[in-house]
Structure 1
Amino acid sequence: MKRRLWFTMAFAGLCLGASAAGDALRFNAENYTLKSLQMPDGEMVSYKAYEGIYYVKNVEDSTYQTLNLYVPFGVKDTDSVPILLRTYVGGYMASTAKTPSATDATGRALKEGYVVCIPGSRGANSVVKRNGEEVYTGIAPNGLLDLKAAVRYLHYNDEVMPGDANRIFTDGTSAGGAMSALLGATGNGKDYEPYLEKMGAAPARDEVFAAICYCPITDLEHADCEYEWLYSCTNDGIRGLDESQKAVSEELAALCPDYLRSLNLTTPSGEKLTADNYRNYLKNLLMASMQRALQEGAEIPDSIGVVFYQEKQDFMGAGPRRSRPSGERRFPEGLDGREAPSFGPAGRPPRMELHTDFVADLNLDRYLTYVASVTPLKTPPAFDQEGVLVETASPENKVFGNAQGESANFTIFSLQRRTKDSNAVLDEELRHRIYLMNPMNFIGGDSQTTLAGHWYIRHGARDRDTSFLVPVNLATKLQNTGVEVDFALPWNRPHTGDYNLDDLFAWMKRVAEGK
């Protein structure tokens, strides 16, 4: 149960009452306005809106370093309800503290009785004037530091504000999904302490209870080689790379097996996961997604590489009239379809027909060609592109740049090609900032961080904004540490987030209640 210190505050001049009076980071429970939000079903949700709250003492950029807090009407300060912290970071750009939306998880959370926190944060495009000069304030890891400071604000004020800071769910999509993963993986990390202290963040913990990550664009220093290793099968076909692009793709792809080996990942069956068996591992995850979609009424054409077989049920559903062909199985090994997301027509029950299709196999190269046919693939390098085949800086090049607005390469591969120096290396300060922006560095091993105990990770089955390897590696490494991970590649989903909210909030309710 959430503890309260109102009895202490009642004594003017005593410890908490005296210190809170001059504390710029103390939450003011009286400073709110009443607002309401109309949900898609017409229901009106009323809530208290606490907006424009600074979460650090040393504010560098007042446009972004604030948070908004929304409390469903009727929730008391003493109520121990979960908190949804939703970041709207995209493309590693800055994001202001926004208001709840009826069409995403923020509105649904208010309807479910959750407290909602929406922090702003600096990003690659945030700029302030200092001594007449433009200063870029959102270079890595500043955006993450802002979000961690917002989490600290919630913990610091846990005794005097609505919501339970011990049950914070973070939620983000794309680069925001990466930020959610970082918040989940780096709780109380000592590497971040000097930065947060300098910012004037609250002296409190910054771990979170659970991380919700939609299509996280993360593991940036390895994302290029993972992209080319997976999609190289399309280079001479639908991707249509020219000779110089193919050469870069092949060089990058060759780096991937060593990286996969270095992760020391194991499958649920205990098999070491390497480049030799990875494609089959990924194929099984995609087949499970397809099987779940079939059960819920989706139509999947066999032209995209999927192989079906049918079982005939008698009228009373007594079972198949013929046995399955030798070697085929109903679900991929180690999966039964339940780990895949609920997808297809909303609320539609599984099909009840005399002929039931099952996914027997998948031609992965053909399927990847299908993915590339829906949305053209990125050209190599997909992320650290500046100075390799084009001079244009990616958002990631900008976020790893400097306060003067100069972008930077963040992989040795791209740095050496841009500088045409095979001995070029990233400087120590930049390497440290890159390290702080990768959740994979803080999961397992001897990491001194507090890892979130619950993870909900989704990456659409036709999302090509990063390689499937990125979310699969993240989920697998988390599973290998023993934390709870609900992971799937939702069938036919593009690069989006906050979908299947019924599934999401059923999961949130279950883990929040410890079930």
Structure 2
Amino acid sequence: MGIGATAGVAAVGGIALNAQASSDRSSGQAASASDALVFDPDAYTRLTTSVTGTDGSTHSVTYHFWKALTYVADPVDEKYQSLNVSVPVEIDGTAVDASDAPILFANSVGGYMPSSVADATGIGGGGMGGGMPGGGAPSGAPSASASAPGANGNTNATGGALSTNQLLALAAGYVVVEPGARGRTLENSAGEYYGTAPAAIVDLKAAVRYVRFNKGRIPGDTDRIVSAGTSAGGALSALLGASGDSPLYEKYLSELGAADASDAIFATGAWCPITDLEHADGAYEWNWGANAAQSTGKVVDQTVSKELRAQFAEYQAALRLRGLNGFGPLTARNYDAYLLEQYLQPSATRYLAALSDSDRAAYLAKNTFITWKNGRASFAWDDYLTHVGARKKTTPAFDAFDLSAGENNEFGAGTTESRHFTAYSAENDTTGLSTRRIAADIPEKLRLMNPMYHLVEKVNGRRSKHWWIRLGASDTDTSHVVSANLAAAAAGLGDKVNHLYYWDKGHGANDDPGDFIAWIAKVTGHKARK
């Protein structure tokens, strides 16, 4: 994430940034506690940056930047419960009016860790944490899909992808809001964890309410908010879209003094979402159970893997989802065929078609499992799994028997750092817990954290109706069925879904950021800047 608005040039994720701190105007002061939720239109800094688009063109963008605005009246931790706002006012020397532009609401959460904008020096700046640019396949512990920590403890391995989206949005004339949020590792002096579930989604909802509450003061169309996030941030983006205005969150928002406004958003962008956590272990084993683990080079315990696959089959049947493009009911028995037909073979086809004849021939010679005929790629599921290779995580991947996964920490409470959130892992706990049952509050927290609850079990009419979902075809941080189920659930409700996989790419890939920016203009009806 760390594209810092400091002197010099940085190139991350295909975006070159030359941020001149041309702060020739800085007016207004931070709002006092009494009017903390009223946005001050004059309290900005004027900045100029260079943005290199996906076509290689370079654009000079001057924008107004509001830094670290606290978005709730009674914050638990202002360092994380604040947001930045960036509004373009001049692009390539031409004045821009962003008063009716879409608002890109881009979170930088990774691994369900805390995310702060307090130290940011401009759009996509230092306070948003660090990590690899989009397209990478980050290494790291199998906990919450996090890689090495970046600034402010944020471990988002895909910040470059998010910064790419944010900068391109700014250059397209959109308003960009970057919210911080509490995360699972935050601990107070009493040893209590105050950023575990559902803190992150509650904070993001409060930030949306702040933006909508300030309609007419914050530039941009507050009815056209488009969220974006990657990995755990992608999960939260999807949850934000699915759960708009759900009463389940009201008591948590009231405790924070959130603004009296809607928290529904218009459209959702989610890259490799780590979500549906209570069913993620089974989905992961269904997908990657036969692949050796990276950490050991050996196949995981097949008894555990088989039991989890059986759980997935039962869950998938209960969902009663139908595949896109008339595929029919999605079951554990036919999901491999569906993934091949709907996502994987089209992904390989797009990749190979874009290569030169010589490069394509070389790739096919190296990857003989692919049949290339009449401009289309085809292959078998088992050969595809062999092509991907070792799986990122051991088993169970998310609710570890020894409570070592980041997701165990996400469901911690009080002074208890980590807890089980599935009955299966609680029953098979290896840490010596006195009771092998999940805690009484876990079912509610799972509902609060799972977008599928709002799309399948209790359908939310205030959900986002437009979905942009992306995943790397070689991403073993999660199961392919997680994002595919999310897409199928939304499409089954009549929502517009744009979902595809990036061939040979890992966790956090963002191969088509320009298309995402164009998609925002299309679904919001915004007239793109010429």
Task: Check whether TM > 0.5.
Answer: yes
Query: Scaled by the length of structure 2, what TM-score is found?
Result: 0.78
SS of structure 1 residue aligned to 2:177: strand
Q: 1:256 aligns with which of 303, 307, 312?
A: 312
Q: 2:371 aligns with which of 305, 308, 332?
A: 308
Q: 1:83 aligns with which of 103, 106, 109?
A: 103
Query: Is the 1:460–1:491 contact (alpha carbons within 8 Å) kept by the matching residues of 2?
Result: yes
Query: Is the 2:63–2:88 contact (alpha carbons within 8 Å) kept by the matching residues of 1?
Result: yes
Instruction: Give the distance between the partners of 1:33 and 1:486, measured in 2 at CA.
Output: 36
Count of matched residue positions in the alignment of Structure 1 and Structure 2: 440
Match runs of 1:405-416 below 5 Å: 405-416=416-427
Query: Is the 1:127–1:134 contact (alpha carbons within 8 Å) kept by the matching residues of 2?
Result: yes
Match runs of 1:6-405 below 5 Å: 22-40=34-52, 41-74=57-90, 79-97=99-117, 98=120, 99-101=122-124, 104-129=164-189, 133-234=190-291, 240-241=297-298, 245-267=301-323, 268-269=325-326, 271-284=328-341, 285-297=343-355, 299=360, 300-301=363-364, 304=367, 306-311=369-374, 357-359=375-377, 361-373=378-390, 376-385=391-400, 388=401, 391=402, 393-405=404-416
SS of structure 2 residue aligned to 1:136: coil
Instruction: Give the distance between the partners of 2:403 and 2:334, measured in 1 at CA.
Output: 36
CA shift at 1:498, angstroms? 4.0
Q: 1:487 aligns with which of 482, 495, 499?
A: 499
Change (3 A) 1:422 1:281: farther
Q: What letter matches 1:91 in structure 2?
A: G
Instruction: Give the distance between the partners of 1:465 and 1:474, measured in 2 at CA.
Output: 17
Q: What letter matches 2:380 in structure 1?
A: N
Query: Is the 2:321–2:492 contact (alpha carbons within 8 Å) kept by the matching residues of 1?
Result: yes
* Partner residue, 1:354: none
Query: Is the 1:36–1:46 contact (alpha carbons within 8 Å) kept by the matching residues of 2?
Result: yes
Change (3 A) 1:148 1:77: farther
Instruction: Give the distance between the partners of 2:299 and 2:517, measured in 1 at CA.
Output: 46
CA shift at 1:159, angstroms? 2.2
1:496 aligns with 2:508: yes
Instruction: Give the distance between the partners of 2:252 and 2:435, measured in 1 at CA.
Output: 31
* Partner residue, 2:3: none
| Residues 226-275 of structure 1: CA deviation (Å, up to 9, x unaligned) | 111122233599985467x2221122112111111011001231621111
* Partner residue, 1:456: 468
Change (3 A) 1:155 1:231: same
SS of structure 1 residue aligned to 2:328: coil
Instruction: Give the distance between the partners of 1:412 and 1:445, measured in 2 at CA.
Output: 20
Query: Is the 2:106–2:179 contact (alpha carbons within 8 Å) kept by the matching residues of 1?
Result: yes
Instruction: Give the distance between the partners of 2:263 and 2:403, measured in 1 at CA.
Output: 36
Query: Is the 2:102–2:175 contact (alpha carbons within 8 Å) kept by the matching residues of 1?
Result: yes
Change (3 A) 1:280 1:139: same
* Partner residue, 2:23: none
Instruction: Give the distance between the partners of 2:210 and 2:238, measured in 1 at CA.
Output: 19
* Partner residue, 2:522: 510
Instruction: Give the distance between the partners of 1:428 and 1:165, measured in 2 at CA.
Output: 38
Instruction: Give the distance between the partners of 1:412 and 1:511, measured in 2 at CA.
Output: 41
Instruction: Give the distance between the partners of 1:383 and 1:237, measured in 2 at CA.
Output: 16
| Residues 383-404 of structure 1: CA deviation (Å, up to 9, x unaligned) | 111xx2xx35211110100131
Q: How many percent identity over aligned positions?
A: 37
Query: Is the 2:348–2:503 contact (alpha carbons within 8 Å) kept by the matching residues of 1?
Result: yes
Unaligned residue ranges in structure 2 (runs of 5+): 1-31, 125-159
> Rg larger in 1 or in 2?
1
The root-mean-square deviation of aligned C-alpha atoms, in Å, is: 2.6
Instruction: Give the distance between the partners of 1:46 and 1:114, measured in 2 at CA.
Output: 12
Instruction: Give the distance between the partners of 1:457 and 1:413, measured in 2 at CA.
Output: 30
CA shift at 1:36, angstroms? 1.8
SS of structure 1 residue aligned to 2:170: helix
Query: Is the 2:108–2:229 contact (alpha carbons within 8 Å) kept by the matching residues of 1?
Result: yes
CA shift at 1:43, angstroms? 2.9
Query: Is the 1:87–1:172 contact (alpha carbons within 8 Å) kept by the matching residues of 2?
Result: yes
Change (3 A) 1:474 1:430: same
| Residues 303-344 of structure 1: CA deviation (Å, up to 9, x unaligned) | 656442445xxxxxxxxxxxxxxxxxxxxxxxxxxxxxxxxx
Instruction: Give the distance between the partners of 2:169 and 2:429, measured in 1 at CA.
Output: 47
Unaligned residue ranges in structure 1 (runs of 5+): 1-19, 312-356
CA shift at 1:287, angstroms? 0.5
Query: Is the 2:193–2:415 contact (alpha carbons within 8 Å) kept by the matching residues of 1?
Result: yes
* Partner residue, 1:15: none
Instruction: Give the distance between the partners of 2:491 and 2:35, measured in 1 at CA.
Output: 41
Instruction: Give the distance between the partners of 2:511 and 2:327, measured in 1 at CA.
Output: 32
Instruction: Give the distance between the partners of 1:304 and 1:48, measured in 2 at CA.
Output: 50
CA shift at 1:62, angstroms? 1.7
Instruction: Give the distance between the partners of 1:238 and 1:149, measured in 2 at CA.
Output: 39
